[in-house]
Amino acid sequence: MKNFLLSWLVFSPIVVSGWRRLETKEKRLRLVIFLSLGALLWAGTFWGLWRVLTYFRGIESFGDLLAWRLLDMVFLTFLGLLTFSNMVSGFSAFYLSQDLELLFSLPIPIANVYRAKLSETLVASSWMVLFFGTPVFLVYGVVYEAPWEYYGLLVLGIIPFLVIPGCVGVALVMTLARVFRAKRARDAVMAFAITCGVGMYLLLRFLQPERLVDPETFSGVLGYLVSLNAPRHPLLPSNWMVQVVAPSLFRRPGEEVFFLAMLWSTASAFVVMGTWWAQAVYATGWSKAQEGKGARGRPWRLIETLVEKASGIFPENMRPFVVKDAVSFFRDASQWSQLLLLGALVIVYLYNFAAMPLEKAPIDSWYLKNLMAFLNLGLAGFVVAAVAVRFVFPAVSLERGAFWLVKSSPLDLKSFLWAKFWASVIPLVVLSELLVVISNALLKVSPFMMVLSSCTIFLASFGLTGLGVGMGAMYPRFKVENVANISSGMGGLLYMILAVGFMGAMVVLEGLPVYIFFYSRFSGQAPGPWAYFLAGLCLAVAFVLMILAFWYPMKRGVQALEEYEI
Amino acid sequence: MIELVELSKNYGAFQALKEINLHVREGEIFGFLGPNGAGKTTTIKIMAGLMKPTSGRARIAGYDICKEPTKAKAQIGLVPDRPFLYEKLTAREFLKFVGTIRGMGASDLEAQMEGLLHTFGLESWADKLIENFSHGMKQRLVMCAALLHRPKVLIVDEPMVGLDPKAARLVKEIFRKESQKGVSIFMSTHTLEVAQEMCHRVAILDRGRIVAQGTAEELAAMTGQFKADLEEVFLRLTTEEEDESS
């Protein structure tokens, strides 16, 4: 009991400061907006999965097996995500938090620090899975008219299910921090965690889950059923979790009590073993992480030289910012390691187009391919917006505490902000063109669609960058402790909404020219002058919209920075 | 060189600065003293263009910081109380960055940079990442950056915090030399011995108002204790204010 109280005392400042963050009216409003958007997302997940499960339930003989298999995949994905996310949050909580110096100077046993930091890590890593998991579990319960035991067992099982990957992730982090030298530990943990995440993501995608709903790919119904019944790895907690909830859900005999005991006993044992491991390695690892031996990594020197040379294309007053930002990016493992995630995203995105069975479709494949290319424009825009919210929106806030240097220098803030714009727009244009041109080439679309798509995404990248840099300046977060949190605030959220709206408007405005193109192909008639006029008008409006999207936020961003008081 | 006229700053209903007036001459070392929360850092931030005053004006080398910020900032070297820097740059890269955004030519920048790194004893650390620097080393690096472009006005917030005795002595020597060259130094400090030793004149700020300004002797005379040191004067003036307000 005394130990528990001590651990709680160590953990309580985090709870109290979290509560204090809601004290102002603006912050409560922000919470309301977040919750409303969350509710919307929840409703969407619920509706989509409800349709899928209702369809499964309608399939006689093996519909339940499909739903069972899907549940298996859901828990396996959650397990992987939790381990990955616990590693990232665990490293921040255990090695980077500002309260650690105080904690290590107090007469508190390591075991209590470990338990408090583990709790912090679990909360930081698990809420997302709980948030997205809840509608999934609820819709299963609703569609299969689950009895109350299902919900009870779910709650009882989910707690240890969250604790297990938490303990594993933290233990891995502590081991890496103990093994690697000083500041290299951080790079090693980030790179390892992100490589695991990327690996899992690629694996899941290349397993082609869509084949589950395409029985043709199996040699026969029997093979299909056998594959569905194939035993899952008995040592995976995700499998135990399924064994806890599935029997009551699908009304089949099972050993839920045994698997529940497995989950709880494993979680408890992992907490105890984690405490032992922390007592053995944590203090030494933390001490090593303070040592200042980190120098520039050799592999990056070539990139740094290239960046310096390439910066020659920028005006003189912007060059120092471009070089400084690029060099800092490649020296910060928490920044560059995200390129691995981005790489995986691009590979899977393009793979989806390569694997698309358009030839099997019952309608004309020319029409379908070009329609796909048009829809791809919106999708690529959405992907680019998601990338921009992570890389472009934080560009200003990444100055962090050192913004005083910019603000007190005679350099005008307009040049500063435009330097951020140009440094962001070039990689974003490369990424967006890569996505659109290669996917269009894979689809073998018509030259008209290829030109239209690549021009549109080129212009849209300017709009998305201007919007991101400008809004990042309007909603700066210079004081944020973890750079990953910069885009999770009110400004990031607003940017995402506006960016998606902007891309939606661009796609809608280009709908008419595309329709005219399709119509002339099918009817065999050349479009009349009015059609050309309307199409031209839509394209002109889209162009004006793009100009507005990057010029106006940039203008407001400069004003906001001029008004900003440090 | 520095002129503050009726300068006020409000944070909502709270009045942090109340119609401050002061004038710092060319080549003068001016001490700005006051208890915690008196408004010293707010004054410095306004002078450096990091914050806007609610009313009044601040002129640096003849330029109004609000009306001609670019020209005024070009004359200033700033050393803030907390040296936040770009942690992923080396000391040399950082100075190069600062010199470039201040429009220095490459050869002049290189010569100034090497000279200052040598003066502040940072030569052997010049190619190490700043994230590995101690507080004192960061403070010395910020001073290098502040002096890099040969400013006419040096604004320093708590210059001795985090410095070891050797570095503190070095900083004092550098300030004296800069002052002899005509640089005006505006220095906020809690260390009254430093103010007494270094400053030509001081001002004492309490709850947003300047309660006294002049040479150490003039202030001592104001309190009626002609042989008192600055610490006694400071305590007497700030305590009197407290008594009056209560």
User: CB of A196 within 8 A of CB of A202?
Assistant: no
Q: What is the arrangement of strands in the sheet containing B55-60, beginning at the earlier edge strand?
A: B14-24, B2-11, B55-60, B63-64
Q: Please name the residues between 281 and 320 in chain A that touch chain B, using a CB distance below 8 Å.
A: 292-296, 317, 319-320
CB distance A408–B86 less than 8 Å? no
pLDDT of residue B29: 94
Strand pairing category for B76-79 and B14-24: unpaired
How many angstroms separate the Cα of A502 from the Cα of each of A382, A424, A452, A466?
Answer: 10, 18, 17, 12
> Residues, chain B, total?
246
Cβ of residue B224 closer than 8 Å to a chain A Cβ: no
Facing residue for A409 by CB, picked from B73, B80, B133: B73
Q: What is the C-alpha separation between A420 and A465, in angstroms, rounded?
A: 9
Q: How far is B74 from chain A (nearest CA, A)?
A: 5
Measure the CA angle with vertex B10, ends A473 and B65; round to 5°.
60
Say if residues B20 and B56 touch (Cβ distance below 8 Å). yes
Is the complex ipTM higher than 0.90?
no
Nearest to A328 among B51, B70, B86 (CB): B86
CB < 8 Å to A24, chain B: none
A39 in contact with B, Cβ within 8 Å: no
Burial string for A227-266 (b: 16+ CB within 10 Å, else e) reads: ebeeebeeeebbbbbbbbbbbbbbeeebebeebbebbbeb
Which two three-digit tokens encode residue B126? 């010049």
Judged on CB neighbours under 10 Å (0-12, 13-18, 19+), A142 is: middle
Find all residues with CB under 8 Å of B213, minimum gap 6, and list them.
Answer: B22, B201, B202, B203, B204, B219
List the one residue out of A303, A326, A487, A305 whose CA is nearest residue A420: A326
Residues of chain B with pLDDT under 50: none
Return the CATH fold of B2-245. Answer: Rossmann fold (3.40.50)
Cα A533 to Cα A541: distance, rounded to the nearest angstrom: 12
Which are the contacts of A402, defined by CB distance < 8 A and separation ≥ 6?
B84, B85, B86
Residues of B in contact with A405 (CB under 8 A): 85, 98, 101, 145
Question: SS3 breakdown of chain A: % helix, strand, coil, rounded to 5?
Answer: 85, 0, 15
Tell me whether residues B93 and A324 touch, CB distance under 8 A. yes
Which of B49, B80, B101 shows the shortest C-beta gap to A320? B101
pTM: 0.73
CA torsion, points A208, A214, A215, A216, in degrees to nearest 10? -100
- Report DSSP letters for chain B, one per residue: -EEEEEEEEEETTEEEEEEEEEEE-TT-EEEEE--TTSSHHHHHHHHTTSS--SEEEEEETTEETTTSHHHHHHTEEEE-SS----TTSBHHHHHHHHHHHTT--HHHHHHHHHHHHHHTT-GGGTTSBGGG--HHHHHHHHHHHHHTT--SEEEEESTTTT--HHHHHHHHHHHHHHHHTT-EEEEE-S-HHHHHHH-SEEEEEETTEEEEEE-HHHHHHHTT-TT--HHHHHHHHHHHHHHHH-
DSSP of A177-241, one letter per residue?
HHHS-TTHHHHHHHHHHHHHHHHHHHHHHHT-GGGGG-GGGSS-HHHHHHHHHPPPPTT-HHHHH
Q: Specify the amino acid at residue A163.
A: V
For A46, counting Cβ atoms within 10 Å of its Cβ (0-12 exposed, 13-18 middle, 19+ buried), the class is middle
pLDDT tens, N- to C-terminus, chain A (566 residues): 555 566 666 666 666 666 666 566 666 777 777 778 778 888 888 888 888 888 888 877 677 877 887 888 788 878 888 888 888 788 878 887 778 888 888 888 888 889 989 998 898 888 877 887 888 899 999 999 889 989 999 999 999 999 999 999 999 888 888 877 555 666 666 677 677 777 766 666 665 555 555 555 545 544 554 555 554 667 889 889 999 999 998 888 888 899 999 999 999 999 999 999 999 988 888 877 766 544 455 556 777 788 778 878 888 878 888 888 888 888 877 777 777 777 777 887 887 777 766 666 566 667 777 777 787 888 888 888 888 888 899 999 999 888 998 889 888 899 899 999 998 999 899 999 988 999 888 888 888 888 888 888 998 999 999 999 999 999 998 887 767 677 777 788 888 888 888 988 888 888 888 888 777 777 777 777 888 888 888 888 988 998 998 899 999 999 999 988 88
Question: How many CA atoms within 13 Å lie on the side-chain side of A264?
Answer: 12
Amino acid identity of residue B189, one-letter, is: T
Phi, psi of B80 (to 5 degrees): -75, 170
CB contact A327 to B (< 8 Å):
yes
Distance from CA of A411 to the nearest CA of B (A): 6
- Give contacts of B149 with chain A, Cβ < 8 Å: none
Beta strands at B184-188 and B153-157: parallel, antiparallel or unpaired: parallel
Task: Give the three-class secondary structure for A528.
Answer: coil
Do residues A318 and A312 make contact, with C-beta atoms less than 8 angstroms apart? Answer: no
Would you call B12 an interface residue with chain A, using a CB distance cutoff of 8 Å? no
* Residue A278 to residues A24, A94, A178, A282, Cα–Cα distance (Å): 38, 10, 10, 5
pLDDT at A231: 47
| Phi, psi for A16 (deg, rounded to 5) | -60, -45
